[in-house]
Amino acid sequence: MNRIDQKFKEDKKLLSLYFSAGFPNLEDTVPILKNLEAAGVDMVEIGLPFSDPLADGPTIQESSTQALRNGMTTEKLFSQLEGIREHVNIPLVLMGYFNPMMQYGIEKFLARCAAVGIDGLIIPDLPVDVYHEQYKTLFDQHGLYNMFLITPQTPENRIRYIDQVSNGFIYMVSSAAVTGAQSTFGNTQTDYFQRIAQMNLTTPTVVGFGISNAATYQAASLHSRGAIIGSAFIKFLEEKGVDKIGKFVRSIRD
C-alpha cells in the first residue's frame, strides 16, 4: 500500500510541512527530513526548486532562488534522497513545476522518484486533464500518486472530476492566493472548508496556503484531514535553523 494511503488510515489530524530542497543550505535535505520525522510530522512535501514558480509567493520563490544558487538540481536532489528510506518512514511527496521534470525526461523522472522512495507528486502547472490523458498510466506504472489542487473558485463538476482522477489526497488551497503565511482565516474560508466537507469526496482533503500557526492549523484541519505549512516553515528554517525543527512543530500542534 502507498505510504500516503497508510497515513490517512490513522485516526488523527495530519500535519505536513513543505520546504525547498537545497535551502537554507545545499545539503540540508536529509537532516530536515530526519528532524521532521523525529518531531512527529506526518508527511513532507519536498520542493524541487524552479526559477519561475508561478503559484508561489515571495517566501517560497526566494528560497527556491537561493536553493538554485546553492547548486540544487534535479539530479542532485535524487542523489541526496538515495537511501532516505533507511532513515525516514513517513510519506514523502515531491512538489515541483513541470518544466524541470520534462527536461529530465518524465519517464526517467518518475522511475527515479519511485526508486528513492517518493510516494507521490504535486505539480501545480500540470492540469488534471493533461495528466489524465497523457501521464496517468505512467504514474500508475511507477506506483506514484499525483495530487491536485482545488480552490474556492473551482467549480463543483471540476472538483468531482479531480476527485475521480486523484489518489492520495486533494490539496485544498485555502483562499484565492499564491502561497504565503496568513495569521487567521475569515468566514469565507471557513464556509469553503465546510462546503467541500459536505461534498463527501472519496479522496481525503488537506488544506494548504496561508497556514502559519496553531490557530490557522486548527481551523484548517477542522473540516479536513489536516494541513500543509510551507512559507511559515521556510521562514523558521531561515531564522532558527534545521536543529530547531522540533520547536516549530510543537508551536503548531500544542
Partner 1 sequence: MNYNVDEKGYYGDFGGAFIPEMLYPNVAELRESYLKITAEPDFKKEFDALLKEYVGRPTPLYFAKRLSERYNTKIYLKREDLCHTGAHKVNNTIGQILLAKRLGKTRIIAETGAGQHGVATATVCALMGIECIVYMGELDIKRQAPNVARMKMLGAEVRSAQSGSKTLKDATNEAIRDWINNPVNTHYIIGSVVGPHPYPDMVARFQSVISEETKGQLQELEGRDYPDHVIACVGGGSNAAGLYYHYLNDERVNIIAVEAAGKGIDSGESAATSALGKEGIIHGSKTLLMQTPDGQITEPYSISAGLDYPGVGPMHAHLFRTRRAEFISIPDQEAMDWGLTLSQMEGIIPAIETAHAFAALDVRKFGPQEIIVFNCSGRGDKDLDTYIDYFKL
Q: Supply the residues annotated as catalytic.
A: 45, 56
d(CA 114, CA 147): 16
Q: Does 51 bind partner 1 (CB under 8 A)?
A: yes
92-108 burial by CB neighbour count: b if 16+ within 10 A, else e? Answer: bbbbbbbebbeebebee
By CB under 8 A, name the one of 25, 26, 30, 57 that touches partner 1. Answer: 57
> How many CB atoms are located within 10 Å of the residue 115 CB?
12
By CB under 8 A, name the one of 40, 58, 83, 143 that touches partner 1. Answer: 58
Q: How far is the CB of 131 from partner 1 (least distance, A)?
A: 11
Q: Does 192 bind partner 1 (CB under 8 A)?
A: no
Taking the least distance from each CB to partner 1, the nearer of 100 and 204 is: 100
d(CA 227, CA 143): 24
User: Can you give the length of the chain in residues?
Assistant: 254
Cell of 147: 495530487
Q: How far does CA 193 lie from the centroid of its chain?
A: 18
By CB under 8 A, name the one of 30, 111, 178, 197 that touches partner 1. Answer: 178
Q: How far is the CB of 86 from partner 1 (least distance, A)?
A: 27
Site size toward partner 1 (CB under 8 A) is 41
Stretch that binds partner 1, among 15-23, 82-90, 95-103, 218-226 (CB under 8 A): 95-103
- The answer to whether residues 220 and 174 touch, using CB atoms and an 8 Å cutoff, is yes
Taking the least distance from each CB to partner 1, the nearer of 79 and 89 is: 79
d(CA 164, CA 177): 25
> How many CB atoms are located within 10 Å of the residue 156 CB?
10
Taking the least distance from each CB to partner 1, the nearer of 40 and 58 is: 58
By CB under 8 A, name the one of 5, 26, 100, 106 that touches partner 1. Answer: 100
Q: How far is the CB of 68 from partner 1 (least distance, A)?
A: 6
Taking the least distance from each CB to partner 1, the nearer of 23 and 148 is: 148
No. of H helices and E strands in the chain?
13, 9
d(CA 243, CA 245): 6
171 bridge partner residues: 149, 206
Residue 42, helix vs strand vs coil = coil
Taking the least distance from each CB to partner 1, the nearer of 12 and 69 is: 69
Pairing of strands 14-20, 43-48: parallel
Stretch that binds partner 1, among 65-73, 85-93, 217-225, 231-239 (CB under 8 A): 65-73
Q: Does 71 bind partner 1 (CB under 8 A)?
A: no
Q: Does 102 bind partner 1 (CB under 8 A)?
A: yes
Binding site for partner 1 (CB under 8 A): 50-55, 57-58, 61-62, 65, 68, 73-75, 97-104, 124-128, 130, 148-151, 153-155, 158, 173, 176-178
